[in-house]
Amino acid sequence: MVQDAERTTENTTSGGGGNPGHPPERRPDPGIARIREAAAGVWADPWWTLPNLLSVLRLAGVPLFLWLLLGPKADLLALLVLVVSGLTDWLDGKLARWLNQYSRLGELLDPAADRLYIIATLVAFVLRDVVPWWVAAALVLRDVVLTLCLPVLRWHGYEPPEVHYLGKAATFCLMYAFPLLLLVQEDFPLSDVVRPIAYAFTCWGGALYLWAGILYLGQVVAAVHQARSRTRPA
């Protein structure tokens, strides 16, 4: 237990035990040990699986997607990259179940690709004045805060919280909003019809994304509080 390890370290450093003339031994911090154990689990899993390959391809598409939006402003090609990314996102989950090729690395790559596409799209949309900067800043800040919470959870012996249905709904709305926002940048006959739908998906998705982040943060705070109450001396 954490509490026992801390007491042992206190006794050793205060001279209550150990060999005289030798420096006191320090036990490794249990939080660091948990982080190392999680990293070892990622390395131990099989890497070269078809679902992981698809996830890597999705990640490789992020810089291409961003360049298409900001360089030549080829919105239709960028939209095609986004559609392919969505298809591979669906396919890698199916293949993992069909081929029984689950891995810890795959569990990390899949949400990482989603977050990077969202961040890349928001950055490009702000630079092109598609969405206000404060909207993008709020959504990106949400991801930064939750990412920083992951090592805190691991330090206290907890796995990352399971994906909430609100988080799934928010990602779903944003993944529909971004292609629609790209479409309305082009001048085509249905732009006036699609534009309010794109803005509606953006508003719904953004609000749900922030609310889901607040729920995740609440789970983190509760988990840390519970871990500290267990290790607090009676």
Given a contact cutoff of 8 angstroms between Cβ atoms, the answer to whether 67 and 164 are in contact is no
Q: Please state whether 186 falls in left (phi above 0), alpha (psi between -120 and 50) or beta.
A: beta
pLDDT at 215 over 90: yes
Predicted pLDDT of residue 89: 79
pLDDT in tens, 31-49: 555 545 544 444 445 556 7
* Cβ proximity of 181 and 79 under 8 Å: no
Q: Which of 37-51, 181-195, 217-231 has the highest mean pLDDT?
A: 217-231
What pLDDT is recorded for position 212? Answer: 93
Instruction: Name the more confident of 55 and 63.
Output: 63
Q: With contact defined as beta carbons under 8 Å apart, do 197 and 166 qualify?
A: no
Cα-to-chain-centroid distance, residue 196: 29
Residue 38's CB is within 10 A of a number of other CB atoms, namely: 16
Nearest to 141 by CA among 149, 129, 153: 149
pLDDT tens by residue, 152-184: 888 888 877 777 788 888 988 988 898 888 888
Residue closest to 101 by CA, chosen among 152, 12, 110? 110
Q: Kindly state the average pLDDT of the residues 112-139.
A: 90
Confidence of residue 139 (pLDDT cuts 50, 70, 90): very high
